[in-house]
Structure 1
Amino acid sequence: MKKLKQLPEFIRFALVGIFATALHYGLYFLFQWFINANIAYTIGYVISFIANFYLTAYFTFNRKPSWRKAFGFGGAHLVNYLLHMGLFNLFLWIGLPKTMAPIPVFCIAIPVNFLLVRFIFKKR
């Protein structure tokens, strides 16, 4: 029963995640033609992080953003960013094209991010 109760929350998280991921990838795709792929990836990540924080707070978990949540969210995303960059560079190193390397990264990092962020915004 508890799992069924979490389904709407997970769906909202997924919608926000799809938007944030599309924003991240879109910005990365645009910038990677002009600047270093790691810098382009980081720019996309940071901008999508800001949008993701506010959408996650208000839409996903129906919570008002606070400095405490911002630091927790930032900490979770620091871990997530390091995971992203490690995987991104691994996939580039094994030979995936720059335009495709983020795709498997998203598939691995998004479930990890959900668990971290859910812990931050969970009612206490």
Structure 2
Amino acid sequence: MTPVRSPQLAQIIRFALVGGVNTATFYGFYLGLHPWMPYFAAYTLAFVLSMIGSFFLNTYFTYRTRPTWRKFLLFPLTNLTNYVVTSVGVYALVEWARMNDKIAPLVAAAAAIPFTYVLSRRILLRPAPTPADA
């Protein structure tokens, strides 16, 4: 018997793959920027740069939809929760738990994954408004 593949399961798998690429990209930017600026500034800039890449990977590969300016401008909203959760996590892990500031972003990012999936799916698969909606 051949297992039935759910389109949503395939989407979750693609999201996880993009997440892995995005995390590696973010972490590479973070490590590259960290020697030149304080850890939190490096974290923030790396986050923004990797978010741009994440938008295109998620539109084309994960959700197989066309990128639009509207989606591009709304996409940061999907990452706002991710940013808040991971920012608080990074700060707490470094300042309060005394975790190494090179490892803390990876640990904090794990907590935000489910939220990012749900929110990015809602934004990127949202139908474009029609003139009748205006």
TM-score (norm 1): 0.90
Q: Which of these two proteins has the greater Rg computed from alpha carbons?
A: 2
Question: How far apart, in 1, do the equivalents of 2:28 and 2:126 lie?
Answer: 33
Match of 1:61 in 2: 63
1:29: how far off? 1.6
Q: Which runs of 5+ in 1 are unaligned?
A: none
CA deviations 1:74-109 (Å, max 9, x no partner) are: 111123212221111011112001111112111101
After the TM superposition, which residues 1-124 of structure 1 pair with which residues of structure 2 at under 5 Å, given as runs?
4-93=6-95, 94-122=97-125, 124=127
The CA RMSD measured in Å over matched residues stands at: 1.7
- Select between 79-88 and 33-42 the one with higher mean Cα deviation: 79-88
Q: 2:36 aligns to what SS in structure 1?
A: coil
Question: How far apart, in 2, do the equivalents of 1:123 and 1:30 lie?
Answer: 35
Question: How far apart, in 1, do the equivalents of 2:27 and 2:114 lie?
Answer: 17
Q: Which runs of 5+ in 2 are unaligned?
A: 128-134
TM-score (norm 2): 0.84
Q: Percent identity?
A: 33
